[in-house]
Chains A and B, each alone.
Chain A
């Protein structure tokens, strides 16, 4: 079993839809959880950062962490064509250890 599992998609939704992206993980020691957005041929951009369990909201984006289920989610409300990208979840145990990435989910928002 891989440490972090993420459905690679592709996921295609109409403009305005609510998008749900998810990752599961096996290492219960993970404490820091991140979501990155990567456009084609660009470096990943940090979208959301969460420590431990709970929800965090930033504009149209909401990140949720459920440590009891080892499950994290990213919700995108009112999705736009500009949201079309690959979304990568990442997590780590402490501040000094490298991130462990999911494979990324390719999202297309159709106008």
Chain B
């Protein structure tokens, strides 16, 4: 299957600081990438849909000024958690859609575990 990477895999930051998470499609160009959040033993919660060259579409209840998404190229999307607080601690996962495969196939990155102290 298609390969999606995320960096970093694990990050600890202090309350009030910002953290940037990168999502890259390694062997395909992704016009659309998705950002999810997952709490322990729960399913994935879609945060936003990121389209290359345009503004991200955020799900209801997700603060777009807090979770900044930039999809600057066909292989890279970034999520910046601004002014992080302990309640932002979670597992953040991105996925990308390969336009050369099935119309709805999404490939996920390995996830980034964020801990805010």
Given the contacts A41-B113, A44-B93, A103 and B105 also touching, CB distance less than 8 Å = no
What is the interface of chain B mostly: helix, strand, loop, or mixed?
strand
Of listed B42, B102, B107, residue having the most chain A CB within 10 A: B102
Please encode chain B, from 96 to 117, with 1 for each CB lying within 8 Å of some chain A CB and 0 for all others.
0100001111111111010000
Q: Kindly specify which of A13-21, A61-69, A76-84, A94-102 makes contact with the partner chain.
A: A94-102
A34 at the interface (CB under 8 A from B): yes
B32 at the interface (CB under 8 A from A): yes
Return chain A residues, CB-CB under 8 Å to B4. 43
User: Which residues of A, 18-68, contact B by the 8 Å Cβ criterion?
Assistant: 32, 34, 36, 41-46, 49, 51
Report whether B93 and A94 are in contact in the complex, using a CB–CB cutoff of 8 Å. Answer: no
B61 at the interface (CB under 8 A from A): no
B60 at the interface (CB under 8 A from A): no
Report whether B103 and A43 are in contact in the complex, using a CB–CB cutoff of 8 Å. Answer: no
Given the contacts A88-B43, A88-B44, A98-B49, A42 and B102 also touching, CB distance less than 8 Å = no
Least distance between B67 CB and chain A CB atoms (Å) = 16
